[in-house]
Amino acid sequence: MKLRTWGRWLGAGLAPLWLMGIEPIPAIEVPQAPTPTRLAAIIREAAPEKWPEAVATLRRAARSAYEQDKLAAAAAWLRAATWAGWWAKTDAEFVPAWIKAIESAQVGHSNMPSRFELGARPLGRFLAPDFQAWLLGNDRFGDEFFEIVTPQDYLPETFRILNELYRHDRAKFASNPSLALAIAVVYDVAPPPGWPHGQVTANALPRRLPEPIAAFDWWVREETAGRLFHRPSRLPAKHLKFVVDTAAPFDQLTWCQQITDYPLAQLDRAYTMVRYRQDRVANGNPIWPGSAYTLPFILRDGGICVDQAYFATHMGKARGVPTLLYSGAGNDGRHAWFGYLAADQKWRFDVGRYAEQRFVTGFAYDPQTWRRVTDHELKFLNEGFRDLPPFRQSSVHAAFSADYLATGAREAAVRAARKAVTLERRNVAAWENLILAEAAAGRDARQREKLLREATLAFQSYPDIEAGFAKRVSASLRARGELSAAEAEDRLLARKHQSKRVDLSTQQAREILVRSLEGGSLPAQFQAFNSVLESFGRGAGIGFFDEVVVTFVQHLVRVGDKPAAERAITQARRFLKAEPNSQLEEDFSKLQRLVRGK
């Protein structure tokens, strides 16, 4: 059996080890993966109410195989144990943890449900027994599920959708499991009000995803008819989630197929099919002016860059092409462009990106979690290391680290996590497990900072991840009173990314400023603002204006010092590059009018 990537198992679905009851796995079976006969026996004994007991039995087999260094068998037993753990978990156990994960990731929004019925009903109730048997016996699907699932996925709905698609058409499900999985992890939660972009009203574009069965059938049918450039049956869910996240109904996607015969290699031409409306830019009205935001109307009436990007992404989705809508801030304006998966299975992230000026970083929605991610983060999709044996083996060790940690075996968790990061230093989940395991094992703050620095070095080619670990170093220093050292870390991080990653530098500059606003006198706060301008603001653009200048000016208005707010605007103009008639110049003027109450 080949080892496959496990991603974020993290032991989240597993129950406490002390739960007993299902017949133990004979020792002679443990060094091999569970047979269909064994899995069928477990289902007979466990379903529907004894899954917690099955977890303990399967976990013991998994750990026994792991400790015998039978990694492939250990992975298979733990996979089964994790399925059982999720099916055993009740609403009362799952929902509070899910809400905490949503809050921690800051991805909550007004379209999410606000009330939940909590009780002792297990999540396994959403899956028919024959589908549970299919899941337990399908290693490939299990690997893909646990690779892609995140703490922000609402698994009751994810399971319900998967079960619905399986029962709708078992043969199609078996031929297109990754498509079903992509739909289940994207459609489990309603999209946020600002998706796919904020420059169209809710009346003109209802933020609504299709019905799961309708979506599944549409893309399967279009592949069968040969109308797609990528075949969903051959793409993994990590790509397909950027196909199924359509804001346009299927009649509009069908229309897309009919109006052009551009091949995949020329999909970038879809961006410029939409006539650019200079008059909307001149009028300063970025909101779509029409009553309906449809693809035919956009093509007919023209639009600005965000409309061009929206149109192009849906031209791709209509052909089964994963696409992303990006937006970003450059020196003197904001812009939108798109990315897509090319024929060579590599992502192009820059279609239309330089149509107006060079933009450093683009932000897009991850439709699975509705988190905003950068194009730099998504470049992980282009790197094949996660499909190689070292990463697969690393992921198995990471999963066992999380499992050991979940049951209090702290030193075993540390050892397994260290094996994971040694095998593949780019395994983010393994580093997180190691950090948690060492903290649980009682390592002091200095030891944790040393580990965080080690992780920072492992990801120096991935600035978003590197910055996340570096910020945790400075937070740890600050927590133990090393304020000067923490401030030095923050400024070092901001300067490091000042030339190539202005977004990270700006983010760090804002954090430095915001901390200064939490206490101290107004002169001290103004001094901190000037220091941030001096260090990071020279020649900065609209992103710095949004994050730093507006933040400080709004603070001064809130405390009732409008003269100081005007001085801050004047000071910022000296440092930022605001060309005449640019968006940045217009935003400076708007901010000044706001301060003056005009």
Domain extent listing, the chain: 245-370, 513-598
Neighbours of 221 (CB within 10 A): 13
Residue 468: strand, helix, or coil: helix
396 and 2 Cβ atoms separated by less than 8 Å: no
What are the pLDDT digits (tens) for 63-90? 999 999 999 999 999 999 999 999 999 9
Helix 71-88 with 389-406: angle, nearest 10 deg: 50
Q: Residue 491: which pLDDT band, with cuts at 50, 70 and 90?
A: confident
Instruction: Give residue 245's identity as a one-letter amino acid code.
Output: D
What are the pLDDT digits (tens) for 278-293? 888 777 778 999 999 9
Alpha carbon distance 420, 400 (integer Å): 10
Alpha carbon distance 413, 441 (integer Å): 9
Q: Residue 361: which pLDDT band, with cuts at 50, 70 and 90?
A: confident
Residue 2 has what pLDDT?
44
Residue 391: strand, helix, or coil: helix
Of 15-24, 27-36, 56-65, give the lowest mean pLDDT range.
Answer: 15-24
Cβ-based neighbours of 446, under 8 Å, separated by 6 or more: none
Which is more confident, 58 or 578? 58
Q: Residue 210: which pLDDT band, with cuts at 50, 70 and 90?
A: very high
Alpha carbon distance 256, 227 (integer Å): 11
Residue 322 has what pLDDT?
98
Residue 355: strand, helix, or coil: coil
Alpha carbon distance 550, 497 (integer Å): 21
Report DSSP letters for 188-237, one per residue. TSPPPTT-S-SSS-TTTS---PPPHHHHHHHHHHHHHTT--SS-GGGS-H
Q: What is the DSSP letter of 459?
A: T
Residue 7: strand, helix, or coil: coil
Alpha carbon distance 113, 190 (integer Å): 9
pLDDT for 360 beyond 60:
no
104 and 33 Cβ atoms separated by less than 8 Å: no
Please identify which residue in the block is written with the tokens 């937070």: 475
89 and 120 Cβ atoms separated by less than 8 Å: no
pLDDT for 306 beyond 80:
yes
Range picked from 110-114, 153-157, 573-577 for highest mean pLDDT: 153-157
pLDDT for 309 beyond 80:
yes
Residue 578 has what pLDDT?
79
Q: Is the peptide bond before 96 cis (omega within 30 degrees of 0)?
A: no
Which is more confident, 555 or 520? 555
The chain-wide mean pLDDT, for the chain, equals 90
42 and 54 Cβ atoms separated by less than 8 Å: yes
pLDDT for 18 beyond 70:
no
Q: How far is CA 508 from CA 93, 364, 470, 543, in A?
A: 37, 20, 11, 12
Residue 27 has what pLDDT?
95
Cβ-based neighbours of 67, under 8 Å, separated by 6 or more: none
* Topology classification of domain 245-370: C8orf32 fold (3.10.620)
Q: Using alpha carbons only, what angle is made at residue 597 by residues 593 and 598, rounded to the nearest 5 degrees?
A: 55
Residue 352 has what pLDDT?
78
Please state the rounded mean pLDDT for residues 183-187: 98
Alpha carbon distance 165, 145 (integer Å): 15
Which is more confident, 237 or 507? 237
Please state the rounded mean pLDDT for residues 553-563: 92
Helix H or strand E segment including 338: strand 334-341
Residue 47 has what pLDDT?
77
